[in-house]
Amino acid sequence: MAVAEQHNFEAVALLPSGRWPHARTRRLSWDLEKIGAELLIAPVLMDVVGPRLHISPLEGLPLLQMSAPSYSGPAWIVKNVFDRVLAVLILMVIAPALLAVAVAIKVGSRGPILFRQQRVGRGGTPFTMYKFRSMVVGADEHKDDIADHDIGAGVLFKVREDPRVTRVGRFIRRYSLDELPQLFNVVKGDMSLVGPRPPLECEVARYGQDGAARRLFVKPGVTGLWQVSGRSNLSWDESVRADLRYVENWTFMLDLSILRRTIRAVLSGDGAY
């Protein structure tokens, strides 16, 4: 209290604890009133914020109510329409860049231009995801050869300086150009522009009790909180937390914020390998 008064604090945040009695909280609020400061009490709810939290009185006692998330209705219709329209517009604008990348891949190494892979979408429905090929043909056959270099720390398989990545592939991965064909998945309705990371079937089979399966409540995204929070630098647990934070707190404004932050993340190239 003395520190708040000395530094003329406008507000003091309090995290509830079993060792901090109710009477002490009430006394603190009274003391802060005297210096014109507000008391902010943080809800003890992991990764749930915003419109899902409400104050609901019960017998004169204000309680924090957490409403269930909604993954349907008008807001989600707007999201789906926005996703497809914007994806089409982006594809029209970047068509020359797509052609240039396709030519570079074809000239740079033997094999197809596109890489097709089975991923798991909303509700556990599998779909074929498109990416520009960034590895040599038959890369999966050599996965066991580099298993000792896996830094995924869990379900994800990640290798820095992966020898299977081609020279062109290294460049397009750094700036996420390899992911641009996923815009066709958005147009088809398999993916959203923003959402959780699209998991492999083998990853879903290894989901445990950490709530990772809840990511499948919505469509996977071309970008998401995992993309703007560190990309491949994230551990498995960090990746799950980022995706669950999105699933639990989705709003249309959150999508717009992530799209804006994605541009900065892609240009920096941080965490891409």
User: How many residues would you count in the chain?
Assistant: 273
DSSP labels, 76-113? HHHHHHHHHHHHHHHHHHHHHHHHHHHHHHHHHSSS-S
Candidates 137, 273, 85, 117; CA nearest to 201 is: 117
- Residue 115 pairs with which residues in a beta bridge? 131
> pTM for the complete prediction?
0.77
Q: What is the structure's pLDDT at 101?
A: 97
pLDDT tens digits for range 140-153: 776 766 666 665 55
Mean pLDDT for 49-57 is: 66
pLDDT tens digits for range 124-178: 999 999 999 999 887 777 676 666 666 555 566 666 778 889 999 999 998 899 9
Q: What pLDDT band is residue 33 in, cutting at 50, 70 and 90? A: confident
Q: How far from each other are the two terminal CA atoms of the chain, in whole angstroms?
A: 49
Instruction: State what percent of residues in the chain have pLDDT above 70.
Output: 77
